[in-house]
Structure 1
Amino acid sequence: MVRSEISKNMFAYPKSRGHGFTLLEALIALLVLAVGLIAIAGMQLKALQAAQVSYFHTLASIAAQDAVERLRVLSKISDEDGSVTCYSVNEILASGGIFATSWTDAWGGSLPGLSVSDSSTDPCVYTLLVEWEEARLLTEGAGALLYHAKVPDVGYIDDEEA
């Protein structure tokens, strides 16, 4: 008789429900975990987009500095009075010279749809607008960098005075 009482107690429904989790509780926990993982994935996507925007802005800044350095090389120093003759970016781009082709070739592969324009009135002061295409990030308003630079006034130094 003792044996039959033990077997009945083994398969009997427990009176206390405080042991373990129910299926509903497990599903709710899984739902909360899924929502958290989706939020983390969204934050990771935004971080990757911000890194891409930062990368393009860094490249555009380097490209603008390279353009200014090339323009400084093209600036002429007159031997008679030591004045500096500068050319605007628009004049150089319109002439189709080596600057226009080599600069665009050098940076066009890194910045798709690259273009540059100069909005300054003084030819020795450059206000470069470097623009590029960012098809994935158009809603962010990215794709342009305004860069200001000035060709320094370099005076002519006479060899006899130095």
Structure 2
Amino acid sequence: MIQRRQGGFTLIEVLIALLVLAIGLLGMASLSMTSLQSNQGAYLRGQASMLAYDYVERMRGNSAQALLATSPYVISLTSGSTRNNPDCRTKTVGCSASELANQDIFDWWGNLQAAIPGSGVTVTKANTNEYQVVISWTESDAQQHSTGSQTQNFTLRVNL
């Protein structure tokens, strides 16, 4: 009688198993990266939404200035733009309505740059009380499978 010994796995079977495992791990890493980028994009959209509504509420709080024909709340600012601080908080006599509008924009612009660095905003007035707030920013694009980026916009149209 000839006895046969079980030889176990061959080296080629081990290499194929490692290859399958490596491909699975790369797929999981790609899925995790796409998930993180999607979560970051959703966070930025949420911040843009909250800040756009904050801007509108600031206009409603100073509606006398917001409803002027040449409203100071109509702005176009890009990343790197600066605003002068009217410093209404330290004045003992208070601020005029136009200074308050400039303080609102200065404070809000600082909040926007802190929440969404590199963003820009355009606020336009359609007629007497119709405004459009557009916040723009750039985020990486995981769906393109490249190191490119894509410009995103959040638009809010309101009647004061």
TM-score by length of 1: 0.68
Q: Which runs of 5+ in 2 are unaligned?
A: 78-82, 84-97, 142-146
Partner of 1:112: 117
Deviation sequence 1:27-72 (CA, Å, 0-9, x none): 1011001001101100110000000000000000000000000011
Structure number with the higher helix fraction is 1
In 2, Cα distance between equivalents of 1:107 and 1:126: 18
Percent identity reads: 29
* Moved segments of 4+, more than 4 Å: 91-96
- AA of the residue aligned to 1:75: S
Query: Residues of 2 paired with 1:67 and 1:58: CA distance?
Result: 14
Structure with the bigger RCO (C-alpha within 8 Å, sep 6+) is 2
| Structure 2 length-normalised TM | 0.68
Partner of 2:91: none
Partner residue, 2:135? 130
Letter in 2 for 1:125: E
Query: What one-letter code is carried by the residue in structure 1 that aligns with 2:4?
Result: K
After superposition, the C-alpha distances for 1:103-138 in whole angstroms (9 at most, x for unaligned) are 11122111112322124422411211112343x448
Equivalences, count: 132
* 1:4-153 paired onto structure 2 within 5 Å: 15=4, 20-76=8-64, 85-86=67-68, 87=71, 89-90=73-74, 97-134=102-139, 136-137=140-141, 139=148, 141-151=150-160
Instruction: Say which SS state the counterpart of residue 46 (structure 1) adopts.
Output: helix
The structure that is strand-richer by fraction is: 2
Q: CA RMSD in A?
A: 3.1
Q: Secondary structure at the match of 1:90?
A: coil
Deviation at 1:140, TM superposition (A): 5.2
